[in-house]
Amino acid sequence: MHTQAESLIVNTLLARLLNACKATISVSDGEETTLVRSDDREAIIEAMFSTDSDVLIIHREGKRDGSILLIYGNGWDLISDYSVSLEEVIEPINKLITSWESFGHKEWCGYLRD
């Protein structure tokens, strides 16, 4: 089961990739690619979280643009590694994570419910 912090980060990451970057996403659980080049948020989330890590393979403008390694159970450090080509996508999310983290557990749980 994933945590609220992980849900918040994944939802923010997918919103940025799908809406702002117009990317498609493939999901690999380390053994197989469970979803190929999708822009369907619900399908992507459904393909995730089946193991303790996932690799999101990002395609933009029809070409592979990089990947993001997510390791579940690391709390705010969910985004464990990513391709340099995705720096402009990840850095704003890292800044948000830092600000959410500074709220503390009780406050961000309330933020999620609002």
Task: Please write the tens of the pLDDT for every residue from 19-43.
Answer: 999 999 999 999 999 999 999 999 9
Q: 63: helix, coil or strand?
A: strand
Q: In whole angstroms, how large is the CA radius of gyration of the chain? A: 14
Rounded to an integer, what distance in angstroms lies between the CA atom of residue 19 and that of residue 16? 6
Please report, for residues 43, 64, 72, 94, 98, the alpha-carbon distance to residue 77 in angstroms, rounded to integers and kept in the order given: 24, 24, 9, 9, 10
Domain ranges in the chain are 4-113
pLDDT tens for 48-106 read 999 999 999 999 999 999 999 999 998 889 999 999 999 999 999 998 888 877 776 54
